[in-house]
Structure 1
Amino acid sequence: MYDLEPTGRHSDGDIDVNPSTQPTFGDVLEMRNSRRQMLGGMTAVAALFGVGACSDSGGITGTEVTVSAGAAAATTAGKVVTLTGTATGATAVLWIQTGGPAVTLTNASSNTATFIAPSVATSTPLTFRFTATGATQGTTGDETVVTVGPAVLGFTAIPKNQLDVVTVPTGYTVTVLYRLGDPLTATTPVYANNGTDTNFANRVGDHHDGMSYFGLSATANTRDDSNSTRGLLVMNHENITETYLHVNGQTPGANRVEGEALKEIECHGVSVVEVLRGTNGWNYVQNSTFNRRITPNTPIDISGPARGAPLLRTVYSPTGVAARGTINNCANGYAPWGSYLTCEENWAGYFRRPTSDNVNRPAKEAAALARYGVTSTTGAYSWSSVIPTTPGDFRFAKWNATAVAGQPADGTGDYRHEANQYGWVVEIDPFNPASTPRKRTALGRMGHEGAWPSNFVAGQPPVFYMGDDSRNEYFYKFVSATAWNPADAQATDRLAIGDKYLDNGTLYVARFDANGTGAWLPLVFGQGPLTAANVAYPFTSQAEVLINTRGAADAVGATRMDRPEWAAVNPVNGEVYLTLTNTAAAQRPLSATDAANPRHYNDPRTNGTAQRGNPNGHIIRLRETGNRADATTFVWDNYVFGSDSTLDATNINLSGLDASNDFSSPDGLWFGRASNATGLVNPLLWIQTDDGSFTDVTNNQMLAAMPGVVGDGAVKTITNTDATGATRTQATPVGRAPGMQLRRFLVGPNGCEITGVDTTPDGRTMFVNIQHPGENVGATIPATFQSNWPASQTGPAPTSRPRSATIVITKNDGGVIGL
């Protein structure tokens, strides 16, 4: 996701299927007792191709009824299969499954039944019997076989483009679900989208980002992890494109207008919204009792080792146990007990704290604030400049982190410590709108880019992986102190379960060694350099280690990375993937390349402008020793390198990308759910881009991949070159070339970032966020816009202001997305 610049702008119900008819076990026995020894055939129609085979069965003919199950066929996991039988003289027909992995038949009591091919590791036969009953003859049947192979990518890659629509492969449909400003209560007016709208505490926020789907029961307001037609969509709202929120941009002046600033503040945070698939597709439920906005003004508890720490004390919470709000919520995560984890990323730039403030603080405190970037003279949007209607209104005053002269040095009289209350992972119970979210301080404070769970194993501690999204920052993991008890997965007091697993444990930071091995370095007070004797920052407690996580990671010698962002855990083998979005030569010069961040090159734009450093980014991956997520060592390699496919294959395009899969600046990263074929056997990895380096060629995109495993490639030695012509060689382990196991699935509209993805448990509906379309805009509304999306998705809309939004992607034949 984007960093905040000093200028204050980003640089950055009804179920639509027929009921299934399943036979009883006695029915199956009866049918099998009369089954033919010679199998018939069938017709199977899969999503993107027709399949079939010859059959030597002519069906079964009785004196009254003639039955045929059709020709045998083959398909692959995740595809829709259609069974077509014929029967003459029948009063009733029925399809039943007689062998192979169990599937759910839809329309089983008709000539044509369908099912989703199950996930398999090897070619596997499924047998089905088609029976017909006559008025006097009784029941006659015929059998057929469908052979199912392992899942494959089942779509043709789409071309790069710069269209102002969301483009997906043939056979898929995009609809817009949830847009900036949409009302979340029955009484909130429809969004006018002209800058006059207010009350964003009850409207959809801006800059949709990380997102998770939580299933709801069909008829009761309870959690149902298997429901794919009703659920809660929980998503982050990272930032704003402020110009579009006001009639003609922000009103100029030394002091911000109160109403405008409040609108901008409330557009940040998190949404919880009920979504429902009906006869006309997916919609959000405007008046749902689950709908909720969590904004920078929402009360939040502080939990874990830093709760009550002196550095968290403010005039609002003199004891340092309570906070108000969450901001710059970028990537996300979830906990298997049913809670949502939102992550505070580039929060530092929102605060006003000029460097003149340093003399009013202890030296180590000022140094830590500078290390995190709390150094703005105004704050990103100058919210603290508001002269509120109510004097001292915290909604504006708290953005001034200056130590006020004459106030207590412990911070209880001002907001000098307010910035320390941000940069955490925040746990939310989406099923309980009355619950108070909790900032989980044991997971450390940084520019949090996600908190992704390991594959939980009974008796082993849960682990969460986290990136810190800034150039030259680090990759972390948290290992709980409590072993996982699977019974906790369905507990109803979800935040109490979070207390159990997330408030005590060990935070580690990664060191990637040149030989393809690595180590997790513990960030524990009293160990190694994390003591009061540390010169750069004398640590006096574990709370200080966690509040100044970046300084602690510096001290132990972690590996600096090229913007470590989203992580994803392979649901089958537990290997961990991490996007390293990009870096520039100014942040990582030629002399600073290493095996984990190996490239330094130029990718010139089409106009000839140089882009030096690692402007296209890459994805690194690791396998924990012993395949235990709590291990303290690992092995690693580079899964794929972003690149224009036309660049030097020897030193830049190391993964051999071509026009069907070249990309730049990987950001969002997500594996398919283990509840469907995209998360089983050889899971699908979805890659989303947040790119400025390649946007002269294509808008941002999303790709699907079936990656291999760590170590499936070889070590390559490349030659890097800087602007002076100086060279430096670097060896690095590179995974096997992805080839056609990596394909472009989606391209977004103009000016957008593609970020946030999840599917329903069955994998047949995908939710994707389109962030800040038309972001390139000045301070005032122009005569024309860079983008008119989402209005442009369905037709010309030359005067419509662009809006961040969530889209729904479905396969026209109802199959699993991507297969």
Structure 2
Amino acid sequence: MNKSPEVAAVDFNDENSNTSSNPTFDSVLAARLSRRGLLRGGVGTVGTALLGGFSVAACGGSDDAATAPEEKLLGFNAVAKSLADAVIVPAGYTASVLYALGDPLSAATGAYKNDGTDTGFEDRAGDHHDGMEWFGLSSDGKLSATATERGLLAVNHEATTDEKLSSFFMHANGGTSTLPRPASEIDKEVAAHGISVVEVKKTAGKWATVQSSPFNFRLTPLSEIEISGPARGSALMITKFSPTGTKTRGTLNNCGTGKTPWGTFLTGEENWFGYFTRSSTDDAARGNDKSVTALNRYGRAQGAASRHGWESGGSADKYARWINGKLGTSANGSDDYRNEMNGMGFIVEIDPLDKSKSAKKRTGLGRFAHESAAFGIPVVGQPLVVYMGDDARNEYMYKYVSTALWSAADANPADRMATGDKYLDNGKLYVAKYNADGSGQWIELTIANAAIANYAGYKFADQADVLVNARIAGDAVGATKMDRPEWGGVNPANGEIYQTLTNNSNRRVDPSGSSQVAPDAANPRVYTDMKGSTAQLGNPNGHLLRMKEGAAGGSATSFTWDIYLFGAESGADKGMVNISSLTADQDFSSPDGLVFSPSTGICWIQTDDGAYTDVTNCMMLAAIPGKVGDGAKKTLSYTKADGSKLDVATNVGQAPTASTLKRFLVGPVGCEITGLCETPDGKAMFVNIQHPGETTSQANIGDPAKYTSQWPTNAGYGAGKRPRSATIVITKNDGGRIGS
């Protein structure tokens, strides 16, 4: 996922390519408030308590017949904020490391030495564990909706911990920080990206991976993947590798996930743009055609350096494909990789139980910096709906509505990938526009829309072009620029949609330059948050939005919305910053991951923060959600630089209470908490700890005492002292459900 606001220099995970003039609603002044030592007596809470109870029957999907509907949720004692290099969970719970960077996936692969000499990552766990889904296995190895002690974890491996080009923890001497880079280093780093599928099993009360499982496999940025849906065979997909535009190599920068109703894994390709480079003269080489507009809109201006320098490994095709420039003489790009980046940025579908099946890029769901793919509640006879966010500053919210109507028979199909063809290759893609009165519209992105067909900024050729360049289509129809939409989820109790908006350093009261935007009703805060002597501008703490579809359900083109929670320090001013009146047991910053438990209905919120990391490491909170409209209107009033007054009215949900929002987990130093799934009984939860020790300097690779984290070795897992991303499993000591 994206880096925190504190990361300086070149940050390939903090893209901001939206320079469109799309309107926002209601300008608001920045509240230049210090986070430290603010008055506690500002405007009070906006509402009363959230929904205090949540019946098991309303949660959906629970098969725990022994649990009474009146089960008390969030009965644990809140975890305090922490700067310790450890995973901390409530009393009565145990967190154990299960699957870490480099762990072998076959009996023939040796144990991970964790000293930078390991190779063979095509058969090891990749790095930066991110989104993750559970797929239960029956005793005969079939997909099971009820299995609780044996299953597959499909895990995203988003990136690697890098500085000065090199993924330095992966190399014995910290790696090469200048170009060209050795092919051996590049090959290791490439293989550490992608996804893994690993069997896990509970034996004698203890969870472990099954190293010799025939189900285990990896997909990397070099794996062949099929292009599926409307962009298959498009001129935009033609490359030297695939002159027919029907396939590509690899999946990259995999972040959030989704699980289809028919039992396949969806992975989102997020900040892939930074891995490519093109020369400082490439615009002219392309004749300054419309592809230049598209490349700029997707973060690859000419002359931009790549994140790792993978293009410098030699003349082999696997290195040349990272040069996204017009180098050949063909008219269609079949002799170079000028179109290579068009093959990245999709939701990819994978059958975790059948590695012989080709993974497919579902182009019908649009191309952008995908986070998760959250399905609406399937209803027989109605379309399936998928909600998605584009994780970059000032980008948009989307939904996909299938043409095919859901059939219960497809919940257990003979061919899962063919079922994906049915529901994910034909449908409509919409983008969201949020109005100041709490209403909103879903605008279809179609070449039939005159605003798209006649858009002055880019000439769309066909519907494939609209989907491949969905950001530009969103510009054309005036979609609302959001504060980095990351994970989304659907409340199983009522079908409402929740969306994390992590932060946005480019909100300003008086915008200057094309990258800055004024606040609006859906993104209403602009303030200064002090981290020591460093001023963090814009909306550094983020918030969570929620939406309710119109009367037509998932296929509706209108919705209502409000802001569920505002991230903030508990001591911040309640009128302008801590609007949700968070206490010390609840305060958080930069919400990122978000997953609803199918067992309990708890909304789990995970953070990827930098704004508040002088006080606490990243965390996970448990929330009992309410519903859209359970709060009240709130107006933020400020004074602009010229002295004029600006008001912005927004819609704020009920403030949480001690029984509806609690901190459940705090992670080790420098990490992000991300990815969550459970066994169907809710008694085992799997969570990912990404990039602990990320704040270590490459120059200190030879001195473990200077690593900012030594987790998970300091928790008794594995060799060496270099920090490793890892999956943990959390259980309750009394054998109960997590969160109760």
Do the structures match in fold with TM over 0.5? yes
- Going from structure 1 to structure 2, the CA distance change for 1:725 and 1:640 (only over 3 Å counts) comes to farther
2:312 pairs, out of 356, 361, 385, with: 385
1:351 and 1:419 in contact (8 A); partners too: yes
1:243 and 1:778 in contact (8 A); partners too: no
- Going from structure 1 to structure 2, the CA distance change for 1:806 and 1:419 (only over 3 Å counts) comes to same
- Going from structure 1 to structure 2, the CA distance change for 1:648 and 1:796 (only over 3 Å counts) comes to farther
1:600 and 1:720 in contact (8 A); partners too: no
Counterpart in 1 of 2:617?
A: 699
Query: What is the distance in 2 between the residues matched to 1:725 and 1:264?
Result: 53
1:266-301 deviation digits (Å, cap 9, x = unpaired): 100001000000014100001100001000011100
1:571-604 deviation digits (Å, cap 9, x = unpaired): 1200000000001146785671110000011121
1:717-738 deviation digits (Å, cap 9, x = unpaired): 1135789998632110000001
Q: How does 1:494-505 map to 2 (within 5 A)?
A: 494-505=416-427
Cα deviation for residue 794 of structure 1 reads 3.9
Counterpart in 2 of 1:235?
A: 155
1:466 pairs, out of 377, 382, 388, with: 388
Cα deviation for residue 11 of structure 1 reads 6.8
Counterpart in 2 of 1:686?
A: 604
Query: What is the distance in 2 between the residues matched to 1:193 and 1:277?
Result: 26
- Going from structure 1 to structure 2, the CA distance change for 1:150 and 1:190 (only over 3 Å counts) comes to closer
Which TM-score applies when normalising by structure 1?
0.80
- Going from structure 1 to structure 2, the CA distance change for 1:262 and 1:354 (only over 3 Å counts) comes to same
1:684 and 1:705 in contact (8 A); partners too: yes
1:178 and 1:805 in contact (8 A); partners too: yes
Query: What is the distance in 1 between the residues matched to 2:152 and 2:546?
Result: 31
1:686 and 1:703 in contact (8 A); partners too: yes
Counterpart in 2 of 1:40?
A: none
Counterpart in 2 of 1:400?
A: 323
2:498 and 2:547 in contact (8 A); partners too: yes
Query: What is the distance in 2 between the residues matched to 1:619 and 1:661?
Result: 14
Cα deviation for residue 252 of structure 1 reads 4.2
Query: What is the distance in 1 between the residues matched to 2:624 and 2:503?
Result: 23
Report the AA paired with residue 680 of structure 2: P
Counterpart in 1 of 2:586?
A: 661
2:179 pairs, out of 235, 238, 254, with: 254
Cα deviation for residue 423 of structure 1 reads 0.2
1:377-412 deviation digits (Å, cap 9, x = unpaired): 33110000111xxxx4222111011110x4202100
Counterpart in 1 of 2:254?
A: 329
Q: How does 1:723-742 map to 2 (within 5 A)?
A: 728-740=646-658, 741-742=660-661
Counterpart in 1 of 2:21?
A: none
Counterpart in 2 of 1:671?
A: 596
1:512-554 deviation digits (Å, cap 9, x = unpaired): 00000000000011212121x3210011100000111000000
Larger radius of gyration: 1
Counterpart in 2 of 1:436?
A: 358
- Going from structure 1 to structure 2, the CA distance change for 1:534 and 1:515 (only over 3 Å counts) comes to same
Query: What is the distance in 2 between the residues matched to 1:453 and 1:733?
Result: 25
Counterpart in 2 of 1:759?
A: 678
Find out whether 1:223 has 2:143 as its counterpart: yes
2:238 pairs, out of 306, 313, 320, with: 313
Query: What is the distance in 1 between the residues matched to 2:243 and 2:66?
Result: 57
Report the AA paired with residue 758 of structure 1: C
1:485 pairs, out of 407, 415, 418, with: 407
Cα deviation for residue 609 of structure 1 reads 1.7
Query: What is the distance in 2 between the residues matched to 1:301 and 1:722?
Result: 52
Report the AA paired with residue 476 of structure 1: Y
Cα deviation for residue 629 of structure 1 reads 1.1
Find out whether 1:716 has 2:634 as its counterpart: yes
Cα deviation for residue 755 of structure 1 reads 0.4
Q: How does 1:271-310 map to 2 (within 5 A)?
A: 271-310=196-235
Report the AA paired with residue 622 of structure 2: A
1:601 and 1:722 in contact (8 A); partners too: no
Query: What is the distance in 2 between the residues matched to 1:282 and 1:765?
Result: 9
Counterpart in 1 of 2:522?
A: 596
Query: What is the distance in 2 between the residues matched to 1:271 and 1:206?
Result: 10
- Going from structure 1 to structure 2, the CA distance change for 1:353 and 1:588 (only over 3 Å counts) comes to farther
Secondary structure class of the residue paired with 2:283: helix
Q: How does 1:483-562 map to 2 (within 5 A)?
A: 483-531=405-453, 533-562=454-483
Query: What is the distance in 2 between the residues matched to 1:11 and 1:305?
Result: 29
Q: How does 1:97-496 map to 2 (within 5 A)?
A: 116-118=66-68, 120=69, 149-217=70-138, 219-241=139-161, 242-361=167-286, 362-375=288-301, 377-387=304-314, 392-404=315-327, 406-496=328-418
Identity among equivalent pairs (%): 51
Query: What is the distance in 2 between the residues matched to 1:330 and 1:356?
Result: 32
Query: What is the distance in 1 between the residues matched to 2:718 and 2:397?
Result: 44
Report the AA paired with residue 323 of structure 2: N
Q: How does 1:741-752 map to 2 (within 5 A)?
A: 741-752=660-671
Question: Root-mean-square deviation (CA), in Å?
Answer: 2.2
- Going from structure 1 to structure 2, the CA distance change for 1:461 and 1:471 (only over 3 Å counts) comes to same
Cα deviation for residue 645 of structure 1 reads 0.7
1:570 pairs, out of 469, 474, 491, with: 491
Cα deviation for residue 793 of structure 1 reads 2.2
Secondary structure class of the residue paired with 2:154: strand
Report the AA paired with residue 735 of structure 2: G
Report the AA paired with residue 353 of structure 2: F
2:712 and 2:718 in contact (8 A); partners too: no
User: Is there any run of 5+ residues in structure 1 with no aligned partner, and where?
Assistant: 13-74, 79-101, 105-114, 121-148
- Going from structure 1 to structure 2, the CA distance change for 1:723 and 1:647 (only over 3 Å counts) comes to farther
Counterpart in 2 of 1:124?
A: none
- Going from structure 1 to structure 2, the CA distance change for 1:174 and 1:588 (only over 3 Å counts) comes to farther
Structure 1 outlier segments of 4+, above 3 Å: 3-12, 75-78, 585-591, 720-728, 794-797
1:741-791 deviation digits (Å, cap 9, x = unpaired): 000000000000000001100000000000000001223415220000011
Cα deviation for residue 501 of structure 1 reads 0.3
Query: What is the distance in 1 between the residues matched to 2:54 and 2:592?
Result: 30
Secondary structure class of the residue paired with 1:206: coil
Counterpart in 2 of 1:777?
A: 696
Report the AA paired with residue 304 of structure 2: T
2:97 and 2:717 in contact (8 A); partners too: no
- Going from structure 1 to structure 2, the CA distance change for 1:151 and 1:724 (only over 3 Å counts) comes to farther
Secondary structure class of the residue paired with 1:430: coil
Secondary structure class of the residue paired with 1:613: coil
Secondary structure class of the residue paired with 2:410: helix
Query: What is the distance in 1 between the residues matched to 2:498 and 2:274?
Result: 28
Query: What is the distance in 2 between the residues matched to 1:164 and 1:802?
Result: 10
Query: What is the distance in 2 between the residues matched to 1:150 and 1:561?
Result: 37
Please identify which structure carries the higher strand content.
1
Query: What is the distance in 2 between the residues matched to 1:695 and 1:726?
Result: 35
Query: What is the distance in 2 between the residues matched to 1:588 and 1:234?
Result: 43
Query: What is the distance in 1 between the residues matched to 2:332 and 2:260?
Result: 35
1:752 and 1:771 in contact (8 A); partners too: yes
1:243 and 1:777 in contact (8 A); partners too: no
1:688 and 1:701 in contact (8 A); partners too: yes
